[in-house]
């Protein structure tokens, strides 16, 4: 088994979990959360014969950069509410999206969400989504962009797709239950 910190058997996955699930913002947070570097024999236990601090820093930077570098935007059709809790019916897919985005936010991952009805300027100024709408129309929304490229159209990402696209551990969002979408609250008659 390869460890990042041999004195407390801290693995790469432990550091990633400290960042994505426990909210570690710096190397000191990672050390506190994982219990790394708590043994005075750190260099003795490490096969490299050196303290593990530099490996902890490298691993921390690797995962922080992955999370920070991934930029996801969701462009949605015009609708009266993004939560799915408007009008007479509840859209479980919009409710799931609100929950997923709130959970990601708690883990330090921000996904921008733009509604055509309330943020039309974003659809004009973003050249990629503007070209997509000019070609496909608004019927192709929602459209999900990752780092400036459209990766999903006509639906929202599954929980598994969110974790894969954003390079997050699978357990961040949990298993997704099957749901029937009403296609947005406005299609359900609330607008």
User: What is the tens place of the pLDDT at every residue in 33-85?
Assistant: 998 887 766 666 666 656 788 888 888 888 776 666 578 999 999 887 656 55
Specify whether the CB–CB gap between 11 and 169 falls below 8 A.
no
Specify whether the CB–CB gap between 129 and 144 falls below 8 A.
no
Q: Percentages helix, strand, coil for the chain, rounded to the nearest 5?
A: 45, 10, 45
pTM, rounded to two decimals: 0.60
In which band, very low, low, confident or very high, does the pLDDT at 122 lie, cut at 50, 70 and 90?
very high
pLDDT for residue 189 is more than 70: no
pLDDT for residue 7 is more than 70: yes
The span from the first CA to the last CA of the chain, in angstroms, equals: 58
At 145, phi and psi to the nearest 5? -110, 140
How large is the average pLDDT for residues 106-121? 88
In DSSP terms, which residues pair with 73 in a beta bridge?
112, 145
pLDDT for residue 151 is more than 90: yes
- 57-84 b/e with 16+ CB inside 10 Å = b? eebbeebbeebeeeebbbbbbebbbbeb
In which band, very low, low, confident or very high, does the pLDDT at 145 lie, cut at 50, 70 and 90?
very high
Which domains can be identified in the chain, with CATH numbers?
12-68 (no CATH), 70-172 (3.40.30.10)
**What pLDDT score was predicted for residue 180?**
44
**What pLDDT score was predicted for residue 178?**
56
């Amino acid at each position: 088994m390869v460890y990042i910190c041999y004195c407390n058997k801290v693995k790469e996955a432990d550091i990633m979990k400290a960042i994505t699930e426990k909210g570690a913002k710096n190397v000191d947070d990672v050390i506190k959360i994982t219990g790394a570097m708590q043994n005075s024999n750190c260099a003795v236990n490490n096969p490299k014969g050196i303290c593990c601090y530099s490996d902890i820093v490298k691993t921390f930077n690797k995962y922080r950069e992955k999370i920070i570098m991934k930029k996801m935007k969701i462009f949605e059709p015009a609708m009266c509410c993004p939560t799915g809790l408007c009008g007479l019916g509840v859209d479980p897919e919009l409710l799931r999206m609100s929950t997923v985005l709130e959970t990601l936010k708690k883990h330090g991952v921000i996904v921008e969400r733009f509604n055509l009805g309330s943020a039309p300027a974003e659809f004009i100024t973003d050249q990629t989504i503007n070209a997509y709408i000019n070609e496909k129309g608004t019927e192709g929304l929602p459209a999900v962009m990752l780092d400036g490229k459209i990766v999903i159209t006509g639906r929202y990402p599954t929980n598994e797709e969110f974790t894969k696209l954003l390079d997050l551990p699978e357990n961040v969002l949990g298993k997704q239950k099957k749901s029937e979408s009403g296609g947005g609250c406005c299609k359900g008659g609330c607008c």
